[in-house]
Structure 1
Amino acid sequence: GASLFRELNIEAAADTLPELEPEVQTALISDMEPEKASDIIEQMEPDEAADLLSDLPAATVKILLELIEKEDAEDIQELLSHEEDTAGGLMTSEFLSYPSQARVCEVMERFRADAEETENIYYIYVTDEQEKLIGVVSLRELILADPDKYPEKTLSGIMETNIKKVRVEDDESIVAAAISKYNLVAIPVVNEEDIILGIVTVDDIIDRILPPKAKRKKRKV
C-alpha cells in the first residue's frame, strides 16, 4: 500500500509508480511533500512523468515543475502540450542523435557515455546542420562499421536515408500502423521542419492499444 511505497528509495519509486493505476499514482504524489514528489518525477521517463502530471491540478503541476531540474521540466512541458492520443503525446524526448559528419569512432565513444543516461536505445538518429533528421543508424550497423579499419568513416556513410517517421500531430492509429507495417521497435517524431522531437516505442503503442491501467484522461494543455 501507500506506506510500503513511501519506504521505497527515489529510483525504485520512479520505476514502480508508472505500473500503478493512474488514480493511485495521483493519490500517492498528491500525498507527498512536493520536494520528494518532484525528485521521483524527475527520475521517471519524460513521457510517463507527463502522463502522471496531466492528471494533477494545474497549481500542483506548476509547483512540481518549478522544483524539477530545468531541462527535465522543459521536456515534460513539451510533452504536456500535445494531445495524449497523438504522436506528440505518446513520444518520449529521450533519444540519441548525432551530426551526419561525426566520425563513427567518435560517435561510438560518445555513445558509451550517452547510453548510461538514456533508456530504450534502439537506433541512433542523424541530423544535418539545421538539426533536421536526415538518417538513422541501427545499433547493429554502428557496431559493424569497423571504425578501427576505417577511422575516417562518418555517420553519413553508414546511415539509412529512407527514414520511417511520423509527424508530431499524427493520430496514434497512424503511429501504430507505421510501427507495425515496418516492423520497428521505435519511430522518430518530427515537426513540420523535419526536426526530431522524440521517439515512440513499440511498448508505448502496446500500452495505448492494450492499456494495463484504467482509461487515461485527455491531457490538460
Structure 2
Amino acid sequence: MSQHAKDLFLSAVLDRSVISRSGREVGRLFDVAMSPGDPLPVVHHVLVKQGGRVLRVAYSDIAMFNDVIVSLHGEPENLPDLPEAPNEVLMRRDILDRQIVDVDGARVVRVNDLKLATAAGGLCLSAVDVGFRGILRRLGYLKAWDFLGGVLHRQLAPKEIDWLLVQPLDSNLTQLTLTVTRDKLSDMHPADLANILAQLPHGSVSSVLNSIDVEAAGEAMGEMEPEDSSRLLSQMESAHAADVLEEMPPDEAADVLAELPDEKAQELLAQMDPEDAEKVQELLEHEDDSAGGLMNNEFLFVTPEATAEDALTQVRLLGAEMDSIYYMYVLDRDEQLLGVVSLKRILLSRGDEAIAGIMTRNPKTVHVDDPLEDVLELVVQYKFAAVPVLEDDGKMAGIVTADDIMEHFMPFALRWKQYKATRNF
C-alpha cells in the first residue's frame, strides 16, 4: 500500500478517521485546502474536525493519505495549528457540488467529486467528476455498480473534466461557480448559450455575461423568452445592458424592455445609441397583440430606379445588421410602398436591370394596428416569409416575419423547427 495514493478522489478521504503516529484517533478529515500551483493547484493543508474544534494540518505533516488511511507524522499536540488564510479555498466547501458550464454539452453540470493526483512530491487537484460515477462513489455504491455492470457488460463511463479547462467565473472563490473554457462561450451557437444562461444560478449570471462579447450576449438573449432576458438584464450594469440591447434586433429588444419596470426601461433606453433607442421606442408604443407590436422596423429598401446590382450592394453594406433578409422593399421618396422583390429574384436578374421591372407591385400588407391573426392569415395563405406593415399615412413602418408570427402562435413547435434548421448551417 502506497503512503500517498497516485490517484485519489476527494470523497474517498472526506470524513475518514485521522490517526496520529501512535495510532490514536485525532479526529475526522473535514476538508482539504488548496493553494495555487503551476499548472495545477496543490493541497496545502487539511482540516481535521475534533469535536467542535477544527485543526489545520499542513500536508507536509501527513504521513499517509489514501483511501484506506490518513495518518500524521506525529502527535497533534506537537504539530503547528495553521491559521486560517484570508482567501482559503476548500475543496469540499467551495468546489464540491458547485456548478460548471459544460460548453461542449451546452448545459450546466454539477461537480460530484474531485480527482487528486500526486505530482512533484505533492498532491494536486487534477480533474472534476461530473458524471454519475461520482454520485455513486460518494454514496458508496460504485463497486457494486461496477460489478453489476461487468456481469451485464454495460460499464458506466467516467465523465471527468480536466482542471486545466476549468476557470472561476468570480474572483471571489468562496462563492465559486465554475465554467469550462470561458473564452468559448462567445463562439457558441446562440441557442446553446441561451440554454446555459437560463440554467445558471442567479448570482453568477452577471459574471458570465461580462465575460462574453455583447454581440454574443445579444444573440443569446434573442433566443430566450423576453421575461428571462429581462431578468438577466436586470443583473447587469446599466451601461453593459444597454450595449447588449443595441446588438439585438429592435423588435426583440422592445420585447425585453417591455418586461422591465418603466423606470428601468427608460434608463436603459437613455444609455443606448440614440438611433437604436429611437427604433426600439417606436415599437414600444404599439400594442403587443398588434402587427406593430411584433414587427421589426429594420428592413432593406431601394428606390424603383435602382438596379439589381445597386440592390445587391445595399445587401452587402447593410445586410449584416439585419436580423433576416427575405425581400427588398421598393419605396418612393415619400416612403410609400410601391412593391417588393425577393432576394432570389435580384440574384437571378441582370446587374443592370431596373428594380421597377422585376418587383411585385401592390403587395399584400397589414396596418400597424391590425391584429396578429390577420398577419398569420397572410403568412399561411400566401406562404410569405415576411409581411410589410404600414402606418396610417401609408408609409412603411416595418415587417413581421413568418418566424415571429408562427413563434407567437406556436412557440414550441416553431422553436424546435428553427433550431434544427439553423444547426444545418
Per the TM superposition, whether the score is higher than 0.5 is yes
Counterpart pick for 2:239 among 19, 26, 35: 35
- In structure 2, runs of 5+ residues without a counterpart are 1-199, 413-425
Residue 46 of structure 1 corresponds to 250
Matches within 5 A, 1:129-168: 129-147=333-351, 151=352, 153-168=353-368
Amino acid at match of 1:112: R
Give percent identity, aligned residues only.
Answer: 40
The CA deviation at 1:177 is 0.5
The CA deviation at 1:110 is 2.4
- 1:192-214 per-residue CA deviation (whole Å, 9 max, x = no partner) reads 222111100111011110234xx
2:221, 2:315 → 1: CA distance?
Answer: 29
- Which protein is richer in strand relative to its size? 2
Report the number of matched residues. 208
Report the 3-state secondary structure (helix = DSSP H, G, I; strand = E; otherwise coil) of the residue aligned with 1:188: strand
Residue 217 of structure 1 corresponds to none
Residue 230 of structure 2 corresponds to 26
Residue 69 of structure 1 corresponds to 273
- Please give the TM-score of this superposition, normalised by the length of structure 1: 0.89
- 1:33-55 per-residue CA deviation (whole Å, 9 max, x = no partner) reads 10010011110111110000001
Q: Which sits farther off after the overlay, 92-101 or 107-116?
A: 107-116
The CA deviation at 1:31 is 1.4
Q: Which sits farther off after the overlay, 123-132 or 7-16?
A: 7-16
Aligned: 1:182 with 2:182: no
- C-alpha RMSD of the superposition: 1.4
Instruction: Select the structure of larger CA radius of gyration.
Output: 2
Amino acid at match of 2:354: T
1:97, 1:21 → 2: CA distance?
Answer: 30
- Please give the TM-score of this superposition, normalised by the length of structure 2: 0.47
1:85, 1:136 → 2: CA distance?
Answer: 25
1:22, 1:85 → 2: CA distance?
Answer: 15
Aligned: 1:83 with 2:283: no
Aligned: 1:208 with 2:408: yes
Aligned: 1:172 with 2:172: no
The CA deviation at 1:22 is 3.5
1:94, 1:132 → 2: CA distance?
Answer: 16
1:29, 1:14 → 2: CA distance?
Answer: 10
1:195, 1:21 → 2: CA distance?
Answer: 31
Partners of 2:330 and 2:338 within 8 A in 1: yes
Counterpart pick for 2:299 among 95, 100, 103: 95
The CA deviation at 1:96 is 0.3
1:106, 1:21 → 2: CA distance?
Answer: 38
Residue 21 of structure 2 corresponds to none
- 1:160-219 per-residue CA deviation (whole Å, 9 max, x = no partner) reads 10301111110000010011111111111011222111100111011110234xxxxxxx
Amino acid at match of 2:390: V
Counterpart pick for 2:312 among 92, 95, 108: 108
Q: Which sits farther off after the overlay, 37-46 or 111-120?
A: 111-120
Query: After TM superposition, where is structure 1 displaced by more than 4 Å over at least 4 residues in a row?
Result: none
2:406, 2:313 → 1: CA distance?
Answer: 33
Residue 195 of structure 1 corresponds to 395
- Which protein is richer in helix relative to its size? 1
The CA deviation at 1:108 is 2.1
1:185, 1:164 → 2: CA distance?
Answer: 12
